[in-house]
Chains A and B, each alone.
Chain A
Amino acid sequence: MWVHAYTYSKVWKGSVTTTFLFPLLYLAAMGVGLGTLVDRHAHHVGGVAYVDFLAPGLLAGTIFQVAVNESTYPVMARIKWMRTYWAMLATPLDIDDVLIGHLGWSALRGGMVSGAFLLVMEGFGVIHSWWALAALPLAMAASVAFAAPTTAYAATTTSENGFALLYRFGVMPLFLFSATFFPLGQLPLWLRAVAQCTPLLHAVNLLRDCTLGTGSATQALVDVVYLTVFAAVGIALARRAFRKRMVL
């Protein structure tokens, strides 16, 4: 039931270049350009060059944004505008198949984006551990964790106005403050506690551990458990929202 991917195989062509271009430009500008300045003044961030520190953060931030993007307007379109989910429900597929298809697609898309990202990172020489191979499946799983609650929201709300708020007050702050661009230690204590409760931070932690080959097993375990629980709750919510909206 991975017919979703077929749909995208038809519209990919345009996104392939951007998938590679985004990490290329960001790592060049922020990692190398800005990073040189940072390293000169701060003498490395968290024990590594700034570009090494930044790259996995950007990787996590990117799959986060992609996963959210794929589950906001597109999901609303398939429920409300194009109504293609309704077409699927008239076939032997049932509501869980539709959800599995969407989340499966999210994982696949996350895999494509992070695959490209990791290749570019390797090109910049910022990967320092074989653990980076684990970053790919972890990024795919994290994509599902991000996509599921977003899907639940998109299937619950009836107007797209809420998405603007979601991006402004949800996606942007998480993207900026989840230890993506600077270590968590730079934040005041209370914000650090808030950040610990949000999902992106844990994906950043994990992926950074992978590409740098650093970090503690305990912290990694905490991150994995957090993301697993977050994904499970998100999937349960999405399932409920789909049922409520489309099984009338």
Chain B
Amino acid sequence: MIVAEGLRKEFGSFAAVDGVDFHIGKGESFGFLGPNGAGKTSTMRMIACMSPYSGGSLRVLGMDPMMQGPAIRGRLGLVPQEDTLDEELTVLDNLYIYGRYFDLPKKLIRERAERLLEFAQLTDRRNDKVGPLSGGMKRRLTIARSLISEPDILILDEPTTGLDPQARHLLWDRLYRLKSQGVTLVITTHYMDEAEQLCDRLVVMDKGRIVAHGSPRALIAEHSTREVVELRFAVDQQEANVGAVADLAERVEVLPDRILLYVHDGDSTVAEVHRRGLTPESALVRRSTLEDVFLHLTGRTLVD
């Protein structure tokens, strides 16, 4: 459905996307992860044919976004990072107008709008103005709106940023249903749980490049260990104790408040720590998550 080779996006001398390759198959749910400024949104906008690419090649649905933008956009749905709803119009009118942009027949739009209102759980707000709706409702409406053309590919740029947990889980459920209907999902997020929930495959981007790709599980296997032991010593005592445990782990990370040991078997590591006479304030064993992979690959320092 989407194939990118050496794809680049430059703003002046700054390369926001610096040569990335990926291919996304039909019905797949594909994620772009990365810290702010990694180039995720630029990539999304190029796929959505809203932003011309500066180099490399890009094919969406077998077409070139530079030449056949309108034809491609007619088969895409976009959920942008910031809401772009018309706040002066009602919920239903937002759906209706958007359908008209796709030149859909009025009757068809009315039918679909009813179903989408149901899908987004907004049926009872249909005639309310959009302005005063909650963030979660606006987000659901934005997703419903992007589906009015029954797109083959749905592009979601940080769909759940700023939502409360209830709203996020409801959205995930809706996205999962779309996926099971065969819609190809392209998602950017910096929530690791979201990526693990929704994505079959994903790439991790950093500074405009892809630094890792694979399924969430494969990425954990490749870039982290099975388990992580978090040892918490008294304040400022982490560095003093790291020497005594460093040999127990494949990789050690010292944070201001704790030491992370990346190991295969957490429980036996903790036992060994205690056998060596060390007395951390707490010792927590947990499974490796995508977040460990993410932080390992993109670093812990704040990007902006």
Contact = CB atoms under 8 A, between A and B. Distances in A.
B19 interface: no
Given A90-B50, A93-B70, A248-B51, A82 B102 contact: no
Contacts of A93: 70, 101
Q: How large is the interface on A (under 10, 10 to 19, 20 to 34, 35 or more residues)?
A: 10 to 19
A17 interface: no
A92 B76 CA distance: 9
A90 B83 contact: no
B78 A90 contact: yes
The main secondary structure of chain A at its interface with chain B is loop
Interface in A1-41: 3, 6-7, 10-11
A87 interface: yes
A83 B88 contact: no
The CB with the most chain B CB atoms within 10 A, among A89, A91, A94, A248, is that of A91
Interface in A80-138: 82-84, 86-94
Contact of B71 (A11, A89, A92, A247): A92
B45 interface: yes
A82 B70 contact: no
Nearest to A9: B93
A84 B145 CA distance: 12
Given A7-B86, A87-B85, A93-B101, A247 B76 contact: no
Given A92-B71, A94-B70, A87 B98 contact: yes
A82 B80 contact: no
Given A87-B84, A91-B74, A94-B70, A7 B50 contact: no
Contacts of A84: 84-86
B23 to A, nearest CB: 22
A88 B80 CA distance: 12
19 contacts: A7-B93, A10-B88, A86-B50, A86-B80, A87-B84, A87-B145, A88-B101, A90-B73, A90-B76, A91-B98, A91-B149, A92-B70, A92-B71, A92-B74, A92-B102, A92-B103, A93-B70, A94-B69, A247-B50
Interface of B: 11, 45, 48, 50-52, 69-71, 73-74, 76, 78, 80, 82-90, 93, 97-98, 100-103, 145-146, 149
Interface of A: 3, 6-7, 10-11, 82-84, 86-94, 247-248
Given A91-B74, A91-B149, 12 more contacts: A7-B86, A11-B88, A82-B85, A83-B83, A86-B84, A90-B48, A90-B50, A90-B78, A92-B70, A92-B103, A248-B11, A248-B45
